Amino acid sequence: MKRNRELNKREIEAFQKNEITEYHIYRNLATRVHGVKNRRVLAQIADDEMRHYNIWKTHTRRDVAPSRFRIWFYSLVSMLFGFTFGIRLMEKGEKGALDAYGALPPSLHEVNGILRDEEEHEEALLKLLDEERLQYTGSIVLGLNDALVELMGVLAGLTLALQDTALVALTASITGFAAALSMAASEYLSTKSEPNGNNPFRAAIYTGIAYLMTVVVLVAPYMFVPDLYVSLGLSFFGAVCIIGFFNYYISVARDVPFRTRFLEMVGLSFSVAALSFLAGYAIRYAFGIDV
């Protein structure tokens, strides 16, 4: 969009449609979230979106219907993955709209200034949101990271040492379940001894569930695929998917870089797996085991 031309009516209506759509999304979330503070913040942002809508309406002189699909989609994402993630994902997808605001023609400079002020206001409000699951990100990271590093190493070593998918699945499942309980107990004691305000029991639950979910994903291929090395490859692929999804979630919800954290976790997990694979081969050769 260039500054040397006027916006046409369709382009202004697109801005107007975006604002009314986000108004309905924020209003929906405001009625569903827990906590008076969160409800007030979301309701205030919804009011800002309606104000944006009315600003554009003074130029189009007509009402515009919201996008029902976007309302449904972001409301669903927010219910599944948390309202902070849903809102941040939506705002991330609106970067193009902000760039378009910055390229408004001279005749709309006054509107541009108003909208810029409102966007800064909304960003400040978003930082006030408080969601429980983000308070326990450290516990989830602990469970995921420990399960990925430990269990990938165990699977790699067992694959070479035992040479049987059923035995590998059984051994890894028992190891993973015991380790999940151990990690949950350790997180409980660790959180209880730290004055960070988090509930030790909830921290333990988040850690244990994250660990167990990772165990299920990594062990599942050995239960359904007869080939050992195909199963190991699928487990590694599952690990990369878990790392990718979790780091993307954190990068969006907390507005932090994705690439560095993702590569660090992948590198660490696969390094441990490679060393364990070699250790399994060495142990099998040293003891003359042939299962």
Interacting residues of 264 by C-beta distance below 8 A, sequence separation 6+: none
pLDDT at 132: 66
pLDDT at 207: 86
Helix, strand, coil tally for the chain in percent (to 5): 80, 0, 20
Query: In terms of residues, how long is the chain?
Result: 291
Q: DSSP assignment, residue 255? A: T
Q: Could you tell me how far CA 268 lies from the centroid of its own chain?
A: 20
- What whole-number distance in Å separates Cα of residue 158 and Cα of residue 168? 6
In 10 A of CB 108, how many CB atoms?
A: 18
- What whole-number distance in Å separates Cα of residue 276 and Cα of residue 286? 15
Q: DSSP assignment, residue 35? A: S
pTM exceeds 0.85: no
Residue-wise pLDDT tens digits, 28-39: 988 888 778 888
The least confident of 58-72, 134-148, 220-234 is 134-148
pLDDT at 4: 39
Best mean pLDDT range from 42-46, 93-97, 265-269: 42-46
Q: Please say if the pLDDT value at position 220 is more than 90.
A: yes
Q: Could you state, in order of their start, the residue ranges of all structural domains in the chain?
A: 9-129, 132-287
Q: Please say if the pLDDT value at position 96 is more than 90.
A: no
- What whole-number distance in Å separates Cα of residue 55 and Cα of residue 117? 13
- What whole-number distance in Å separates Cα of residue 148 and Cα of residue 238? 10
Interacting residues of 170 by C-beta distance below 8 A, sequence separation 6+: none
Six-digit token pair at 269?
């997990």
Choice between 97 and 127, residue whose per-residue pLDDT is larger: 127
Q: Could you tell me how far CA 111 lies from the centroid of its own chain?
A: 34
pLDDT at 3: 41
pLDDT at 67: 92
Q: How far apart are the first and last CA of the chain?
A: 68
The least confident of 69-73, 182-186, 196-200 is 196-200
Residue-wise pLDDT tens digits, 204-214: 888 888 889 98
- What whole-number distance in Å separates Cα of residue 73 and Cα of residue 76? 5
pLDDT at 48: 84
Amino acid at 34: H
- What whole-number distance in Å separates Cα of residue 228 and Cα of residue 222? 7
Q: Which CATH class for the 9-129 domain?
A: mainly alpha
Choice between 197 and 144, residue whose per-residue pLDDT is larger: 144
Asked if 262 contacts 160 with a C-beta cutoff of 8 angstroms, the reply is: no
